[in-house]
């Protein structure tokens, strides 16, 4: 008795897999820069209730907490964007646009319905 042919296991779409990998990296990047910015600004830029500011320390003319907690991570994101966009993110085939296909299917269903009622 011949053995049944093994059912071919379908492969995931590579565009989907690449997008998924990129999604994890994007969430990781958000977590890193969110933590960096808020940690630095909150610890070095906030006054406690009743606390008076002495001399304001500045870097490049801005309060130092704004430089280390906002300007620098902002610059960091731009550098990371170079890596992410030009070295990490894949160039994937997005496929041909099936213009009007969804509507054509809907119209076909309508015709089927009309024919069925006609019978």
Partner 1 sequence: MNNLFCAPLLAAGGSNSAIITFLVYIVGVMVLAWLSNRLLQSKSFLSEYFLGSRSLGVWAFALTFAATSASGGSFIGTPSLIYTHGWIVGLWIGSYMIVPIVSMGLLAKRINQVARKSGSITIPDVLRDRFESPVFGAIATALIVFFMVFNLIAQFKGGSVLLQTLLQDVPLFQDVSHGLAEALHGVPILGESEDKPGYLLCLLVFTVAVVVYTTYGGFRAVVWTDVMQGLVMLGGVILMLPLAIWAVGGLGSATREMAQMTPPNNVKLELTLTDPSNSTLNIPNNSWLVQDEGGTRRVFRTAARAQILPGEQTASYRVDKDSYSREIPGIELTYAKQVANATADDLGRAIQIRVLESKEYANGAGRPGVYVTGPGPDAKSAAGFLPFSLAVSFFFMWTFSGAGQPSNMVRLMAFNNSTTLRRSIFAVSIYYSMIYFPIVVIFCCARVLLPGWETESDRIMPEMARVTTALAGMPWLAGLLVAAPFAAVMSTMDSFLLMISSAVVRDIYQRNINPKASEKTIKRLTYAATIAVGTIAMLAAVSPPQFLQDIIVFTGSGLSTSFLAPVALMLYWPRFNRQGALAGMLGGFATHVTLYTVGTIMSGKVDAYEPFNFHPFMVGLFASFVIAISVTYLTSPPPEHLVRKYFYK
Distance from C-alpha of 114 to C-alpha of 118, rounded to nearest angstrom: 6
Q: Does 100 bind partner 1 (CB under 8 A)?
A: yes
Give just the sign of the alpha carbon dihedral 55, 57, 61, 67.
Answer: negative
Assess 69 for contact with partner 1 (CB under 8 A): yes
39 binds partner 1 (CB under 8 A): no
Give me the least distance between CB of 3 and partner 1, in Å please. 24
CB of 1 to partner 1, least distance (A): 29
Distance CA 114, CA 69 (A): 65
- Under rule CB under 8 A, residue 20 binds partner 1: yes
* Residue 57, C-beta contacts closer than 8 angstroms, at least 6 positions apart: 63, 64
Which token pair is 102?
A: 């969804």
- Cβ 5 to partner 1 shortest distance, Å: 19
How far, in Å, are 36, 41, 51, 64 from residue 44 at the CA level? Answer: 12, 5, 13, 8
Contact positions vs partner 1 (CB under 8 A) = 10-16, 18-20, 22-23, 26, 29-30, 33-34, 37-38, 41-42, 45-47, 52-53, 56, 58, 60-63, 65-66, 69-71, 73-75, 77-78, 80-82, 84-86, 89-103, 106-107, 110
């Amino acid at each position: 008795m011949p053995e049944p042919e093994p059912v071919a296991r379908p492969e995931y779409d590579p565009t989907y897999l690449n997008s998924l990998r990129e999604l994890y990296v994007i969430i990781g990047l958000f977590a890193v820069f969110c933590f960096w910015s808020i940690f630095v600004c909150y610890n070095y830029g906030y006054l406690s209730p009743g606390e008076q500011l002495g001399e304001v320390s500045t870097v490049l003319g801005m309060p130092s907490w704004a430089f280390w907690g906002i300007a620098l991570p902002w610059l960091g994101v731009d550098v990371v964007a170079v890596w992410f966009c030009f070295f990490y993110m894949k160039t994937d085939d997005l496929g041909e646009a099936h213009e009007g296909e969804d509507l054509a299917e809907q119209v076909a269903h309508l015709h089927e319905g009309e024919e069925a009622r006609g019978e």
